[in-house]
Structure 1
Amino acid sequence: MTSLLDAAPLAPLGPTGLVFMASGQGSQRPGMGADLLDIPEVAATFACASDVLGRDVAALVRDAAPEELNDTRNAQIAISALSIGIGWALMARGVVPDALLGFSLGQISAMVLGDMLAEEAAFALIAERSRLMGEAADGNPGVMSAFLKITLAEAQELCAACAEGEVLVPANLNGGGQIVMAGTPAAVSRAEEAWAASKGRFSRLATSGGFHSPLMAPAAEPFAAYLAGVDFRESAVPVIGNVHGAPLQAATVREELVAHLVSPVQFEASVQKLAAAGAQMFAEVGFGGVLANLVKRIDRAAPRAAIQDRASFDAFVAENGE
């Protein structure tokens, strides 16, 4: 797998060097963002999602049981609504990013905040994406597990040794020695056992499928057909794509979104390229602080923040707003 750092560098970022990072699936928790729902921009985003989907999305984050929220069809819409709402609320208070980076699902949230995709179209797209991914997961059951203190070469060797003819691939290249594997339950279990036998650590993720792996291939063709009818614009600021670690372009974003279903998330390389382009703050918009913690793994000196509740929101606006 070629390093993205060998590719063309990003153009220098704007003067603040602020990067918004939109959270991905697996960060969801019951009650997430509940104390932000009275912020007008957050409330409006949840209302938009509810109108598009014909259900109360705010009630989903406030009241859903963990097993309900963890379902792909529910998790994706709740996570994206929170990320987009927080992003809009920050921008309304003068906290404007110079670049956007989403993790998996968060790539779509980042596209909305970069004005590549209308909010209503994004929620409809996410609903269709999650439906197709959920169907693929039902037909091809899979799991994901985060392996710690592992190199890409070691991960690839582990996959080759433990797949036994089943799907097992590095799916999220998170940095700092963390790589998420995706595959069939049996194959991932074999890899976990082998890594534990060599004193390695791992942690299963709260996802309902083996995402960013060939297990999602059945979703590709119908998703491509759906995207053919979606309008995309050029982004207002760079939106860094997960597949190539480069700014998304309106002309090619459909192909990238389809490839994204079965391709690894190149998070570490994307963060490194943004840092080289002048990033001065990596601010996660969404719940859990997962991406902010990954940035810390990649570069302990990189300034970072997790904006996930009212206290962290107010503090970040006070320090960075107009």
Structure 2
Amino acid sequence: MIDEKPLEPLGPRGLVFMASGQGSQKPGMGADMLDVPEVATTFECASDVLGRDVAALVRDASPEELNDTRNAQIAISALSIGMGWALMARGVVPDALLGFSLGQISAMVLGDMLAEEAAFALIAERSRLMGEAADANPGVMSALLKMTLPEAEELCAACAEGEVLVPANLNGGGQIVIAGTPAAVARAEEAWAARKGRFSRLATSGGFHSPLMASAAEPFAAYLAGVDFRESAVPVIGNVQAAPLTADGARAELVAHLTSPVQFEASVQKLAAAGAQMFAEVGFGGVLANLVKRIDRAAPRAAIQDRASFDAFVAENGE
């Protein structure tokens, strides 16, 4: 349920960092950023917490290995967090933070709501629980193009046939991602194609942001009870309500996030109304920057995903 309250005006630069979500991963992503000190330190932190070489995962994993949610989540978050720290160290400081799904946790770290070590342990637990839920309740996700939310809701209701099938990512610009059982999603894709609609399967290993993740909610809530959250330094916009997160509300938001749709379009629209002047994606793939373009073609945006784009953005926006 979206919180309709408008955001407070952003700082004068109006810079929004967007942290990438799962599905953006690709072998070798960000490999040329690993020698940037802040990025290297973040990957070392992740490796220490998890007891494995996370940098090697980014450099060497096969597509199949990297697509496993237990690997994808940690690799994507380490890159987004490290790149965010590196930008801030060079004077590129955001006025607000917005993560997409997994990226919400990366945004919490960059907003100083959550310690980096605690975040990687949290992500490992989250990915483990989501992986177990996905194994127990197999699901897939598919992006349907040129579709409205009412159309998506009608399509899901018509094609579910008693199985799970729901809108999961409300991306804007006519793109809605559905999640559900493999058979139900296939029926929806077939029905949408019959209407001359286009779709694209996502590289995820489960039906995330849907009731298929419900079994992860209770153990995840129990885990979060022992995690410390602080008030954010700048607004961190949550995916469930498209509103700023608070230290007291962070746990409930993260649990609801498992089974609730990602309100990305509403979040971007509220940030734009609050004075956002640049939406800069930190991570890989440029997915979020492209979604911003779908929502508002005039909105300034950037995809910072490798050394060349990083250096160019610092040269233009750093101190």
Answer yes or no: same fold by TM over 0.5. yes
SS at match of 2:168: strand
Deviation at 1:252, TM superposition (A): 1.1
| C-alpha separation in 2, matches of 1:220 and 1:128 | 12
For residue 47 of structure 1, the aligned residue among 44, 47, 51 is 44
| C-alpha separation in 1, matches of 2:304 and 2:290 | 12
Deviation at 1:248, TM superposition (A): 0.2
For residue 8 of structure 2, the aligned residue among 2, 8, 11 is 11
Residue 32 of structure 1 corresponds to which residue in structure 2?
Answer: 29
CA contact under 8 A between 2:141 and 2:201: conserved in structure 1?
yes
| C-alpha separation in 2, matches of 1:87 and 1:28 | 17
SS at match of 1:100: strand
| C-alpha separation in 2, matches of 1:270 and 1:6 | 10
Deviation at 1:13, TM superposition (A): 0.1
SS at match of 2:261: coil
Deviation at 1:22, TM superposition (A): 0.0
1:173 aligns with 2:170: yes
User: Any idea what the Cα deviations from partners look like across 1:34-64, whole Å, max 9, x if unmatched?
Assistant: 0000000000000000000000000000000
CA contact under 8 A between 1:5 and 1:273: conserved in structure 2?
no
Deviation at 1:6, TM superposition (A): 7.1
CA contact under 8 A between 1:242 and 1:260: conserved in structure 2?
yes
Cα RMSD for the two superposed structures: 0.7
CA contact under 8 A between 1:104 and 1:265: conserved in structure 2?
yes
User: Any idea what the Cα deviations from partners look like across 1:53-88, whole Å, max 9, x if unmatched?
Assistant: 000000000000000000000000000000000000
SS at match of 1:5: coil
| Correspondence list, 1:181-260, <5 A | 181-260=178-257
User: Any idea what the Cα deviations from partners look like across 1:130-172, whole Å, max 9, x if unmatched?
Assistant: 0000000000000000000000000000001000000000000
| C-alpha separation in 2, matches of 1:66 and 1:201 | 24
Deviation at 1:5, TM superposition (A): 7.2
1:113 aligns with 2:110: yes
| C-alpha separation in 2, matches of 1:113 and 1:190 | 40
| C-alpha separation in 2, matches of 1:282 and 1:188 | 31
User: Any idea what the Cα deviations from partners look like across 1:166-223, whole Å, max 9, x if unmatched?
Assistant: 0000000000000000000000000000000000000000000000000000000000
| C-alpha separation in 2, matches of 1:153 and 1:141 | 26
| C-alpha separation in 1, matches of 2:134 and 2:163 | 15
Deviation at 1:114, TM superposition (A): 0.1
Deviation beyond 3 Å, 4+ runs, structure 1: none
| C-alpha separation in 2, matches of 1:204 and 1:13 | 36
Note the residue ranges of structure 1 that are not aligned, 5 or more in a row.
none
CA contact under 8 A between 1:146 and 1:180: conserved in structure 2?
yes
| C-alpha separation in 2, matches of 1:294 and 1:251 | 30
| C-alpha separation in 2, matches of 1:305 and 1:108 | 21
| C-alpha separation in 1, matches of 2:151 and 2:31 | 41
1:279 aligns with 2:242: no
| C-alpha separation in 2, matches of 1:156 and 1:63 | 40
| C-alpha separation in 2, matches of 1:6 and 1:213 | 20
CA contact under 8 A between 1:26 and 1:207: conserved in structure 2?
yes
| C-alpha separation in 2, matches of 1:16 and 1:223 | 37
Query: Structure 1 vs Structure 2: percent identity of aligned residues?
Result: 91
| C-alpha separation in 1, matches of 2:64 and 2:2 | 39
CA contact under 8 A between 1:141 and 1:209: conserved in structure 2?
yes
For residue 65 of structure 1, the aligned residue among 62, 65, 75 is 62
| C-alpha separation in 2, matches of 1:130 and 1:103 | 15
How many pairs align? 319
User: Any idea what the Cα deviations from partners look like across 1:112-144, whole Å, max 9, x if unmatched?
Assistant: 000000000000000000000000000000000
CA contact under 8 A between 1:88 and 1:113: conserved in structure 2?
yes
User: Any idea what the Cα deviations from partners look like across 1:256-288, whole Å, max 9, x if unmatched?
Assistant: 100000000000000000000000000000000
| C-alpha separation in 2, matches of 1:233 and 1:156 | 36
Note the residue ranges of structure 2 that are not aligned, 5 or more in a row.
none
| C-alpha separation in 2, matches of 1:54 and 1:160 | 44
- State TM-score, norm by structure 2: 0.99
SS at match of 1:265: coil
